[in-house]
Structure 1
Amino acid sequence: MLIVAQNSGLVPTLADDVSASEKAMMRQQWKREKDEHKIEVIRWIRERGERRQELRLWQMEREMREDDRARWKKQVEAERLEWWRTVNQEREAWKQEVEAERRDWWVKESHERDKWRRQEAADREKWARDEEEWTRRREEEEQYRKEVEHRRQGVWWSEPWKNKGCYSSGIQAYSAHLFDIPDDLNWLDVCMDMPIQIEGRWFDKPDKCERDETHVWGTWMIGEPGCALYWDRIHYMGCSAGQSGMKRYRARLMNLHKGDDWDKMCSTTPANILGVHYDRPTVCIDEGRTGIWDYPDSSCH
């Protein structure tokens, strides 16, 4: 009990020189300080709780701002992509439109150019035909004038006749007698300057004029499809005998008519052998009415 009373300050100890009243006052002060400290601790705890709450709120606001920023960035990126896609689509549509317009222009220009070329070609053909027609009429008028002039002098052609057989390949000869040539005129000059109409065509002069004791006549060489000849299948005969560097080919002449001079017809009928054009055979032989051609070839020795 004594020890408790000493610890409580009610009973002084031997080593203690502080009075009990002072100790009581000190204990009250310590209690007040302890109570104030508890109050201060409670306030600090409350303030710390408030700071933590504010920190949590600030953290939530920060997270919300981060979320808003992420959404904004995502929205901006989506808008940018959408804008870029729209721009690309518009650009592609513009390119297609320009390309379509260019193609349309090119097609139209090509059509116009083709039309102009066709028109130009048609105009050239018309000019050529007109010039040819004008030349033909001028020649006919000149021939008619000559005929009238000669007829005034009494010179005239008989009705022309077709000579027997063809003259050469693709050529038919026509002849006519020339009558009433004045004695004071040269028969050849008159004949070679006397026009005639044969098969509906006017000819300014004969190809040749001839005479005998009784008649003067002119002869005209006129192209005629019925006189055109052709060669049968061309056969290879090997290297030419006695000719170094030559191959020999032969073919039979076709479409000869009765009365044709076959040798002249043979020597005027052209041929194409291995891409080479020949105006006539190298030689014609009566055996089978055949043409012979020598073709250069270094393999023949």
Structure 2
Amino acid sequence: MSHRHRHFPSCYGLLHILIFSFRRPSTPYTDQPDQSEYSSHGDTSNRKRIVTLYGDQTLQPHWPPVEPPASYEPSETDSLLARNGHRKAFTNVRLIAYYAAGFLAIVFIGFNVVMHFTNCSPYPWTMRDIRMGWQNERKEREEEQHQERVRKRWEEEAQRHKHALEKVIEKIDEEEKRQERVRERWEEESERRKQALEKDIERRKREEEQHKEQVRKAWETEADKHRQELQERIRRETEQMDSQRRKWQREIDEHDRLAEERRKHEEEERQKLNMFWGHVEAHQCTTYATREYTAVLMNLPVTWEHRVEACKATALEVHGISYLPKSCEDKGPGVVLGRWDINQNQPDCTTFWTSYKDKASLIETELTLVIACLLLPQGCTSQKSGKRRIEHYMDNLPSGGDWKEFCATTPASFLNMHFIGAQECFQYNLGTYGQWEIDDSNC
């Protein structure tokens, strides 16, 4: 039911109730029949009509007295007349009660009339509510119609999709059947090909075995022939090599004989000329315990052609020990200069190591030393390296000597180990230091 239909019956029903409530009898009378009698004779048509107009709402107002019917006449036997003056006073009290009840009914009905008139159609806000209700109902109806159309389209689409799906399924079934037939034919063809391939493999295997047998026999024949040729070639080459070796040996023997004859001849000539070393000079130390010497070969003829050979064959005696020259320098006719590096542990040329220290690989600064002490064991090159670094100071370095040569040739012994020289050399604060890295399981 719309908003309009809900409000209109209430308004007009209350109007009818108000009209009938204000109806009064034309000639009031004080004597009225008993309630039970009157209820049996009264007219209830107005009440039924008001209830019908009001709708399904229940209303029980306090009904005012109504006129008795025309056929009604009081009788002598009436209970109201039979009573005395006490009955008359009670009638007045009851009349006052009726008026009070009627007044309350009028107030109640008036309040309801005012409240219901505010909801009736003549008011703008009531019309606005009704209009909004109609619009909402129209929107709901349009939404229902739209949903119905969408549902119908969806059902049609679902039906079309179902038909299309059935067709696709039919095509898939047909494709599967076709593939099954193709697979069966392929299996049959594969079986035939497999049998033919096995036969072909067996045939090729037999042919290959026969070919291998033929090749093996040919290879054995060729190998025997090649072995014989190789043995013959080796025999000829061996004979040629033996012949060449004998020839080389004869040449070597001849060369040695000529060289020996020439040496003897030169020795005889040198002894006849009494060649010796003069102007012997001792120079600075070159390496550990080694000093350089130079001398000039004396009594050397100007026309002597083998001056360098004579230099190399003439020994120089130093402190009772003879030494052949390390090198000979031909200065021209009659002048040959010899050079020696003689190691006789001379004190001036003997350096030695002092100030044994375990050293880490870090530079010695205050910060790095603290880090080394915290992170690395003393003297280890790095953590878990298995290497320890040892440092020595080299003392008694000759003035003008090459500190690198002396560092590399000065022997050192420590921790039951011996070294011919330092593994690493450097100078620091005008001093020469040597370092060694040795294996140590504690690092």
Query: TM-score range, shorter-chain basis?
Result: 0.3 to 0.5
Q: Which has the larger radius of gyration?
A: 2
TM-score for both structures, normalised by structure 2: 0.31
| Higher percent of residues as helix | 2
Larger RCO of the pair (alpha carbons < 8 Å, separation 6+): 1
